[in-house]
Structure 1
């Protein structure tokens, strides 16, 4: 049975015994019109229109059904060229490609319902864990799309999965149980796309993705959260597939192979405001990841630990400043120099003109590769349903680095959002 069928059965089960007549059906839509120009290469990365409709249906029982779609028309077709095979996505999570320039996706499709004090959500959804902004330690339930690398908001980069969660109050804690029978993994554009992360040394475009089986390799998780003495706390456990693959070059077959492994993730979060400063922390340990030594080519299994420490400051009127330090460490060392990786982020946001104008600067610096990404953005709310946008995404550093590899793809972005 397919994940969508399981989700459908669960939805039917939740609906059993409650009136099916809807109290109210509400519709809203966002239309984003955006163009991005890579000034160093003199090429357009995208000229697109994205429609994101949302329908919310409320039932007499208090249950709520949500459907969110996404349709895109891109005149350039450089970010995800043609009609890709989507090897990283499970069958029921794939997009539709009516043409090279059009893609359609059922983004989210879920039912919310209370059974006594227990909250249940079943369907295609995003499940967000953790306290970090952009840097993922515990927020790994949903894989990401790298269609535009890490440039869009993470809400639009997460790939919603067919899954189920239940939140159960237990004294002063809330227990969240998670089941994900959808084996979609992190999606990189195929070789030839603007932000592809997959090497193609043979110019053959041959990629073998050994993605796990959706039902046999379901993910299971438990999160305990509470508010204690001013601290927002959580304890997290997840048995899952590591979404980022081990990439191997298969020389005899002249192809590229993406392999995956299962792992136990244990971690937690803690945050608390101290006056105008909020301290955030997040830590996680994976029992097993795999990497390939850059010198010997040998594959090694190892545990890996990651943490983020963040400080948010809001003591200045109309200003918000946030900084984070992120480190990941492999417990099994090798002869190469990649056992520890560190990044720092700095976010500065200012609002003016009665909050009509928002200016934002985000910098991510990789201490190992000494390269960086700087994102500058200005948004002007022209009316209640029109927001104008001007931005720049700038990459710096050596081509071998995390961000420097895309330094020729630095771009200027302009567009607007219409809501109705």
Structure 2
């Protein structure tokens, strides 16, 4: 009985200590978008973000949770009306949940264990070296979003150097665009898999550490001639699957597929990035050199004894890179411009396209109003063929902060394109949007 009282007292004291150090934050956000062409809703998301943090001397506990509702119901039959999950579906995601220990075992060695977002790279949202966490492409306009990973991270500090190692024991694939968006991008994400209603099967890697784990190393230096540099290495698998076998029949003079098999190829990535300042201009550069596993697509025609193979991903390295700068002019206009070679889903030297992303904005009324008057992007494959293959996105928006932590944003996204480009295929999806966000 005495031991029970002591344990109870310790538990109460620990709970009181944690409650005194608990910091809760987050935001509430509403995001509504309507297509200009047919006035239909293209996106309707209501999100509650909650973060909790407790710091106890050298130990920090952190968590982040999303609670979301996408507005529209998922009812397809009468019985669905009896289930609230169909009528008003709610999505709960644990984005992060980890413990961070400072000076673990020895001085200057930090250990972080749990679900965590490990962001590498210096560019603004478009990061060729950010390859540890799976891509979260649910919202194609939310660049740079990733899932968290259950990982072990060790960081060791020596002067201006930081040595980081990361181990992720299990494989998690990327989240593809929500709704009918993925149909639009089928041949972009899955080259060789013809866009049609066919049976698909994905081969996941064996759950062993050898086949499913991911490993990363990074060396960072804080100050070399005013610049910060880092060199990184990642070994794992691509989180977007690629087809390796298509089966079908030859009918009416053409091949009609009925099934496709996909898998996640292995990948080695060497990364480099830098960031600094040149006479008041912020500059950055980032590059990822990808060493992929060779992928051969096998096509089987069942009613004709024909079988053919073609290499759709060569075993040769290719490089995605980004260069950018930002600057605030004397008249208050802020400019952010980036040039990107190779988007995150593009694989192989011959498939990398070019993107120029830009944003010019100015604030008014004591910074309560922000006008992004020149914002968007331009995509092209080759400079000599821009007029036949391009995509242009113009995305002006106005934000208003009537009080601290509350922001209203209204904007429009206009898309024009020609030829075979990633964003050009969205030229009939111009939209207007309204966002409301309150942070606490």
Higher-Rg member (1/2): 2
Match of 1:350 in 2: 362
Q: Residue 404 of structure 1 corresponds to which residue in structure 2?
A: 424
Structure 2 residue aligned with 1:303: 317
Q: Give the whole-Å Cα distance in 2 for the aligned partners of 1:399 and 1:331.
A: 19
User: C-alpha offsets along residues 52-81 of structure 1, whole Å, 9 cap, x if unaligned?
Assistant: 11111222x331111111111122369xx9
- Give the drift of 1:317: 4.5
Cα offsets for 1:263-302 (capped at 9, x unmatched): 2211211222111212211122111155679xx8533332
Confirm whether residue 117 of structure 1 aligns to residue 108 of structure 2.
Answer: yes
Deviation at 1:202, TM superposition (A): 7.3
Root-mean-square deviation (Å): 3.0
Q: Distance in 2 between matches of 1:198 and 1:248?
A: 15
Relative to structure 1, is the Cα distance of residues 114 and 36 closer, same or farther in structure 2, using a 3 angstrom cutoff? same
Stretch of structure 1 that moved more, 202-211 or 360-369:
202-211
Aligned partner of residue 408 in structure 1, secondary structure: coil
Distance across 1 between alignment mates of 2:147 and 2:347: 29
CA contact (8 A) 2:244 2:295 kept: no
Structure in which a larger fraction of residues adopt helix: 2
Residue 137 of structure 1 pairs with residue 128 of structure 2: yes
Alpha-carbon spacing, 1:236–1:37, altered in 2? closer, same or farther (3 Å): same
Query: How does 1:29-178 map onto structure 2 within 5 Å?
Result: 29-59=26-56, 61-76=57-72, 98-99=85-86, 101-115=89-103, 116-149=107-140, 151-154=141-144, 157-178=145-166
Deviations 1:374-413 (A, max 9, x none): 3322221111232111122232213732001122222111
Contact 1:33 1:48 in 2 (8 A): yes
- Pick closer, same or farther for the CA change 1:120–1:182 going to 2, 3 Å: same
Rounded to whole Å, the distance in 2 between the matches of 1:166 and 1:209 is 33
**How far is 1:195 from its partner?**
4.6
User: What are the residue-to-residue correspondences of 1:233-312 with 2, within 5 Å?
Assistant: 233-247=229-243, 250-252=246-248, 254-288=258-292, 297-299=310-312, 300-312=314-326
Give the aligned partner of residue 4 of structure 1.
Answer: none
The change in CA–CA distance for 1:319 and 1:119 in structure 2 (over 3 A counts) is: farther
Provide the residue aligned with 2:218 in structure 1.
223
Q: Conserved in 2, the CA contact under 8 Å of 1:305 and 1:331?
A: no
Is 1:182 matched up with 2:170? yes
SS at 1:388 equivalent: strand
Q: CA deviation at 1:37?
A: 0.2
For the 8 Å contact 1:54–1:68, the answer to whether it is kept is yes
Q: Which of 376, 381, 403 does residue 363 from structure 1 map onto? A: 376
The number of residues matched between the two structures is 376
Q: Mind listing any 5+ residue stretches in structure 2 that lack a counterpart?
A: 1-13, 77-83, 188-192, 249-256, 298-308, 382-388
Query: What does the per-residue CA deviation read over 1:27-68, in whole Å, with 9 as the maximum and x for residues that have no partner?
Result: 223111121101113211123311111111222x33111111
Q: Distance in 2 between matches of 1:127 and 1:340?
A: 25
The residue that corresponds to 1:212 in the other structure is 205
**Is the counterpart of residue 318 in structure 1 residue 332 in structure 2?**
yes
Helix, strand or coil for the counterpart of 2:396?
strand
The aligned residue for residue 254 of structure 2 is: none
User: What per-residue deviation string (whole Å, max 9, x for no partner) do you get for residues 280-338 of structure 1?
Assistant: 11122111155679xx85333321112222122223343221222222499987xxxx3
TM-score relative to the length of structure 1: 0.80
Q: Equivalents in 2 of 1:331, 1:33: separation in Å?
A: 35
- Measure, in 2, the Cα distance between the counterparts of 1:51 and 1:99: 20
CA distance in 1, matches of 2:420, 2:38: 19
- Separation in 2 of the partners of 1:332 and 1:32? 38
Task: Choose which of 373, 380, 384 in structure 1 pairs with 2:393.
Answer: 373
